[in-house]
Structure 1
Amino acid sequence: MTDSHFPDKDTILAFIRSSTTPVGKREIARAFKLSGSAAREMLKEVLRDLEAEGTVERGRNKRMAPPQSLPAVAVLLVTGVDADGEVSARPLTWNREGNPPRIFVLPEKRSRGEEKPLAVGDTLLAKLARINDRLYEARVIRRIDGEREGRILGVYRPSADGGRIHPTDRRHKTEFLVLPPNRGDAEAGDLVFADILPAGRAGQPQARVVERLGSTDEPRAFSLIAIHAHGIPTVFPHAALREAELAAVPALMQREDLRDLPLVTIDGADARDFDDAVWAEQDSAPENPEGWHLIVAIADVSYYVRPGSALDRTAYERGNSVYFPDRVVPMLPEALSNGLCSLKPGEDRACLAFHLWIDRNGVLIRHRLIRGLMRSAARLTYEQVQDCHDGRPDEAAASLADTVIAPLFGAYARLAAARAKRGTLELDLPERRVHIDERGRVAEIAKRERHDSHRLIEEFMIAANVAAAEVLEGRTMPGLYRIHDRPAMDKMETLRSFLAEIGHPLGKSVDLTPGHFTRILRKVEGTSHAPLVSEVILRAQAQATYSPDNIGHFGLALRRYAHFTSPIRRYADLIVHRALIRTLGLGVGGLDDETLGRLAEIGEHLSGTERRAAAAERDAVDRYTAAFLADRVGERFSGRISGVSRFGLFVRLDESGADGLVPASSLPDDKYDHDEAAHALVGQRGGRTYRLSSPVKVVLVEADPVSGSTLFRLADSA
């Protein structure tokens, strides 16, 4: 082996980084066919240099890996199980700075009757494979028996023998004893992090308080619980804050001047940031009769957040903003998210804007992306715009009714027609809105209303997202697509069986499109089957994710789609902005070479942070909902069965949309079989059947705001 054939330092580093597990000198030498004492000495020298530079770390077994890497085999603590059964974990011990990498546990192969699925707090020995520097997959070797170990989030309550910690996780039923020396500075009702200790002589599990987070008497603690339970970063590094504070609106220079155009923002009344503005006019071009010219202007976050900056690093770590009933955990510091990147009326703002031209059928026929400077003409709400369209304009909307709002609805009508023609999946699913009063208490929980003004903005945003994807694909520029796969084969077979059972067969020879589902939904509209069919079709769908490999968006019936319209709150959109800037030569802030090589990894990371945010938001709403119901224990409610499992029924209340469990043990005396295909529990003796989406009357048994758990019993089972 001659020096000329010896791999350079970057090549060896790339090999170490690409390995799913830490590697030793022997594996590196074998990979590069290094032999002889001279080559071995050169390799030792390179590895010493890499270690000194901090680009690799040497483990206890002298194997090399990127910094903060995990060993090939480790003891893990299960920290989360989402609604789809996906299990996340962390190392049982972590003594380094910062948060440990995220770990997703691959499903175990279990036969019927074998041990229960993994739950939060379980400890296991697992083989780890590194996907990237911050993400691992774990394959379970074996579970570790005995008392669960690790760290819990809970509420401290004093007791005669010291204190108790009640875990906030509803799946963790154990209370932990806190002896006086282990109390720290915790006071009654405090939310605390605690390390689980070995059980005492009497078998009572114990814990030691390690961090006090604040009092749960403050209603806003419910969001705080969700934030900490899901590991959502809340503190911006000083360097990122400084970069945000020093930012300023750019001069016009090469930008297109849109400041005289009456672009308007349309958002919810409770919106905290405004990152998109719209405008429309009839197209005057003779070759496009009855066509429309639209502009969708989006805050130019890429101008302020450059690749590799402190702002960029913290935005990537967060992945997206997280929205709670009482607060937002933003992706970017306030100086940007509520300042320079929020399209406030009357203020100059940097933007990226798509000029979009659609024909009389609502088909996007051409587009042009520009970098501009705009000045919003008005901040409007969905309700204002809808009332104006319906002939009831308020003072703010009246002056814009004919020149701005009417043209927007004219263009929307064409886009809506095109959507209907291509046959998208139209699931009109109710969304809960938690209204918090001035004292931080839950004043109301109601379904969010949806108007044509909401759909107008959705269609404008979809058109811009399609245009962004077309630019990337047309210029073969790598980027991140928003992809949504067809339903999995096993879910489709279950769905076909169910639809056939209720008289709406979906033939196996059908080349499935979202339009097939929408036609079935229209057939059952207004019937008793409608809520059930909607739920079952929803559960059959794949989850949308981010990827550099475009497979299209099944639900929207689109061949290409990329998120472009929310770079304040989604890092994926920022990546798309940078890719467009680079490929179109629009100036500074384009996609860098280092990011180009990591797009698959970035897509996985952002899909994960999106799931994390959704889970945290659900948890917070569940806790606020439980607090809203806590004073109504014993009351009777109407609802529908929203889920069926072998251990009980999930019921969603008609009044508030609150979800809770009716345990199988509380059902009328019988032994119940879980019919998965029919989404039902069926009594073996009496044949009594509880089916998904059936109406029921329930009595509230328990509502625990700390854990967010709500328990019911059927009103006729007393």
Structure 2
Amino acid sequence: MARNDNRGRLPKAPDQRHAHKTRAKQNRDGQIPTRDQIVEYLDINPHNASKRDIAKAFGIRGDDRIILKALLKEMEDDGLINRTRKTYRRTAVLPSVTVIDIPKDTDPNYMIGHPDKWDDDDGERPGVLIVVAKDAKIVPGPGDRVLARVSPNEVPDGPAYLAKPMKILDAPRKSLIGVVRMVERGARLVPVERKGREMQIHAGDLNGAKDGDLVEVEQAVAGRAMVPKAKVVNVIGNPLSEKAVSLIALHNLEIPHKFPNSVIAESEAAKPADLTGREDWRHLPFVTIDPATAKDHDDAVYAQLDEDPANEGGFVVYVAIADVAHYVRPGSEMEREALLRGNSVYFPDRVVPMLPEKISNNLCSLIELQNRAALGLRMVFDSDGEKVSHSFHRTLIRSAAKLSYQQAQTAIDGHPDDKTQPLLEPILKPLFAAFTAMEQAQKKRGPLALDLPERKIILNDKGMVQDVHIPERLTAHRLIEEMMIQSNVCAAETLEKHKVPLLYRAHDAPSQQKMIGLKEALSSMELNFNPGDTVKPDHFNRILAMAEKSDNPHLVNEMILRSQAQAEYTHENYGHFGLNLRRYAHFTSPIRRYADLIVHRALIRALKLGNDGLPPETDSKLPMIGEQISMTERRAMAAERETTDRLLAYFLADQVGATFPGRIAGVIGAGLFVRLDKSGADGFIPAGTLGSDYFLHDEGQQALIGERTGERFRIGDQVEVRLVEAEPLAGSLRFEMLTTGEQVKPPRRSRGRSPVRKTTFGKRRNKR
């Protein structure tokens, strides 16, 4: 059978796809809403959405209710909405780049696939129509798995999404992963997924696996009872052995973590760069300032007073960034692997690098007292910290010293050690003086000033949690951060000036829908938030400043964070809202981010700094590359979060029954998410354990409120909880609430809204 004959246009759905048609009747009197209007209503009213509520909202009466019922049924069949009993809600939304599985038995002329991963527990995976352009180079078929660019389908009576294939991927992994637990006869497989099922493993099917090993298995069923059986096909490792807990996330999310032999061979053949085609900057006493445990050093900095009399009180700031483009050439094995990985992944117990060790930790790392190739940037700032000019150079540098943030800060605070004492006057003081000036301009610019301290996990020699603490935010951290931000701005400005395509690091303004929800939530705290049609970071900063004087600044920070859009890599520039910058590109970390390597190559091409710049044929691929590495970034974040959850669950597993202070970090109808103060571990309190009242979910207040008592639990509230259950493999914790909620006026329950019946789960002690 021929492949898709409808390439270049949307294929028509077969007539038998829908037995009843309502479109012709819908506009009879203008009362029946469109699909988009219903979806918009469900977005704004996720808990007020029975058929009766929808009919009332759109003024639908009489026989038109039959038409509405049929329309809702069609939308449900197409995967646009889900129904739980009598309540409708919008299905989960797919990200713009998604892995799609195409069934083997689908019609090749009308291929409908489904997302590989689907987080919506209450609904079936939505249909995704595969659209292949007439001149497309990527032409998938039934049974393929593709990385695709996904968008909503606006054609009536069709699948919920459209997908344009970007790449055909390897076949989905058929096997599952879990941990072996030995029993009297054979073993059992304990799944790592929260909702996975245990399986039996016969002794002859262990394939050398031992108790506690993380394994990959093939699944089968046996016997009349169809008991699930597992056969070990690969022993991955032991998650309790030294630094191996992250293995679960690596395999769950299919993150490449072993370099092919061809990539290793290519990296081993690389030689150090020399002065050929470079400026000699080895006389400049650069220093690297990084975490004490850092093994790769992308950036080095140096600053001095500007000697130009026309810029009195100004500074010249030099930034050197590892010249990865010199070693990782377009079309090479390392290049292909770097794009596949997209970025390095940083776990508490290991690092999965984007580039092989010889490149990332040696030839490209700006090691002290070693000659290293770098892309250099010279920036001139006036006494108020405003940038006057900048220029890029291809250089050879020699870092004078490797310092930690704490070393640099301690020295500038008046307590230098033997290493920083000779660096204090000639290097460190000018650097910090330059930052003091730059900080003035930063404050004037007004980036989003969220205060969300990050916890750092300290591991023991077995790779398990020893302690958790919040590192102090030092001036040295802000110094490096601001110099890197300014360097990224310079890269974007230069490439725009030379009209060379690039990948921007873009961050959109929050959506209007999110602003409506935030306004309602802040109003419940008596904080007036009315940014108008154009929201700016300063609108949020004013609210954050007001919240600092309140009893619960954490709540406001959490609310504002949740209202923000997600940053991404894109060939289109729509600015960086959080930093309040009109143009921004990642340039300063090419060892660990593919986006920065693209920007380096673009600068080399724009400024004619060598023959290894961005190839012209890459220009048309930038949209696909941006989507690919945005996906790998999200994947890395998910893996890091999963691993942290598992490590903390192991850490707390022997403390079941203990009590902990924490804050409510999230509220849904099913219960409360609580984050413990010291460890930062997240756990769940089911709504059914809160007491004997009916608790209603108030979306505007982000709270659960007792219908009879008015007892309220709201996001950001300080509470005390008891650990009831810990599941280390799944990384999940369950708590019991010990704190009595704040008393407010009981809510009026709207008709059609279903409360959750509560049952007493132990007597709570009043902590207020």
How far apart, CA to CA, are the structure 1 residues paired with 2:311 and 2:248? 55
Structure 1 counterpart of 2:3, one-letter code: G
Identity %: 46
> What are the superposed Cα offsets for residues 222-273 of structure 1, whole Å, 9 maximum, x if unpaired?
1111111111101212222122111122221331111111100000111121
2:635 to 597, 612, 619: 612
1:321 to 341, 344, 352: 344
The answer to whether the 8 Å contact 2:257/2:352 transfers is yes
The answer to whether the 8 Å contact 2:243/2:462 transfers is no
1:166 to 190, 195, 212: 190
Structure 2 counterpart of 1:169, one-letter code: E
How far apart, CA to CA, are the structure 1 residues paired with 2:669 and 2:488? 42
1:246 to 240, 256, 269: 269
Q: Determine the structure 2 residue equivalent to 1:644.
A: 667
The Cα shift of 1:510 comes to 5.6
Q: Taking structure 1 as reference, are residues 161 and 688 closer, same or farther at Cα in structure 2, changes over 3 Å only?
A: farther
Task: Using structure 1 for the length normalisation, give the TM-score.
Answer: 0.82
1:583 to 601, 606, 631: 606
Q: Taking structure 1 as reference, are residues 497 and 30 closer, same or farther at Cα in structure 2, changes over 3 Å only?
A: closer
Q: Determine the structure 2 residue equivalent to 1:50.
A: none
| TM-align CA RMSD | 2.8
How far apart, CA to CA, are the structure 2 residues paired with 1:629 and 1:27? 57
The Cα shift of 1:480 comes to 0.5
The answer to whether the 8 Å contact 2:377/2:392 transfers is yes
Q: Determine the structure 2 residue equivalent to 1:301.
A: 324
Q: Determine the structure 2 residue equivalent to 1:628.
A: 651
How far apart, CA to CA, are the structure 2 residues paired with 1:489 and 1:395? 55
Structure 1 counterpart of 2:393, one-letter code: I
Q: Determine the structure 1 residue equivalent to 2:521.
A: 498
Q: Determine the structure 2 residue equivalent to 1:278.
A: 301
Structure 2 counterpart of 1:498, one-letter code: A
How far apart, CA to CA, are the structure 2 residues paired with 1:589 and 1:701? 58
The answer to whether the 8 Å contact 1:105/1:137 transfers is no
Written as runs of structure 1 = structure 2, the 5 A alignment for 1:540-559 is 540-559=563-582
Q: Taking structure 1 as reference, are residues 646 and 200 closer, same or farther at Cα in structure 2, changes over 3 Å only?
A: farther
The answer to whether the 8 Å contact 1:487/1:541 transfers is yes
Structure 1 counterpart of 2:595, one-letter code: A
The Cα shift of 1:388 comes to 1.0
Written as runs of structure 1 = structure 2, the 5 A alignment for 1:218-237 is 218-237=241-260
Instruction: Indicate yes or no: 2:580 matched with 1:601.
Output: no
Instruction: Indicate yes or no: 2:702 matched with 1:679.
Output: yes
How far apart, CA to CA, are the structure 1 residues paired with 2:663 and 2:395? 50
The Cα shift of 1:220 comes to 2.3
The answer to whether the 8 Å contact 1:132/1:601 transfers is no
Q: Taking structure 1 as reference, are residues 88 and 478 closer, same or farther at Cα in structure 2, changes over 3 Å only?
A: closer
How far apart, CA to CA, are the structure 2 residues paired with 1:413 and 1:103? 53
Structure 1 counterpart of 2:507, one-letter code: H
Structure 2 counterpart of 1:677, one-letter code: G
The answer to whether the 8 Å contact 2:241/2:462 transfers is no
Instruction: Indicate yes or no: 2:165 matched with 1:186.
Output: no
How far apart, CA to CA, are the structure 2 residues paired with 1:444 and 1:586? 48
How far apart, CA to CA, are the structure 2 residues paired with 1:439 and 1:688? 44
> What are the superposed Cα offsets for residues 563-611 of structure 1, whole Å, 9 maximum, x if unpaired?
0000000000000000000010001320012211100000000100000
How far apart, CA to CA, are the structure 1 residues paired with 2:510 and 2:705? 27
How far apart, CA to CA, are the structure 2 residues paired with 1:349 and 1:103? 48
How far apart, CA to CA, are the structure 1 residues paired with 2:396 and 2:404? 23
| Secondary structure in 1 matching 2:650 | helix
Structure 1 counterpart of 2:294, one-letter code: A
Q: Determine the structure 1 residue equivalent to 2:54.
A: none
How far apart, CA to CA, are the structure 2 residues paired with 1:28 and 1:414? 58
Q: Determine the structure 1 residue equivalent to 2:396.
A: 373
How far apart, CA to CA, are the structure 1 residues paired with 2:733 and 2:159? 35
Bigger drift between 583-592 and 161-170 goes to 161-170
Q: Determine the structure 2 residue equivalent to 1:530.
A: 553
| Secondary structure in 2 matching 1:305 | coil
How far apart, CA to CA, are the structure 2 residues paired with 1:536 and 1:402? 44
| Secondary structure in 2 matching 1:136 | strand
Written as runs of structure 1 = structure 2, the 5 A alignment for 1:395-434 is 395-434=418-457
How far apart, CA to CA, are the structure 1 residues paired with 2:390 and 2:717? 48
The Cα shift of 1:206 comes to 3.5
How far apart, CA to CA, are the structure 2 residues paired with 1:198 and 1:91? 24
The Cα shift of 1:297 comes to 0.3
| Secondary structure in 1 matching 2:176 | strand
Q: Determine the structure 2 residue equivalent to 1:135.
A: 147
Written as runs of structure 1 = structure 2, the 5 A alignment for 1:556-571 is 556-571=579-594
Aligned positions, number: 624
The Cα shift of 1:84 comes to 8.9
Q: Determine the structure 2 residue equivalent to 1:24.
A: 3
> What are the superposed Cα offsets for residues 335-371 of structure 1, whole Å, 9 maximum, x if unpaired?
0000000000000000001100111221112100000
Q: Taking structure 1 as reference, are residues 318 and 552 closer, same or farther at Cα in structure 2, changes over 3 Å only?
A: same
Task: Using structure 2 for the length normalisation, give the TM-score.
Answer: 0.77
How far apart, CA to CA, are the structure 2 residues paired with 1:319 and 1:305? 14
Q: Determine the structure 1 residue equivalent to 2:734.
A: 711
How far apart, CA to CA, are the structure 2 residues paired with 1:456 and 1:592? 34
Q: Determine the structure 1 residue equivalent to 2:386.
A: 363
Bigger drift between 85-94 and 536-545 goes to 85-94
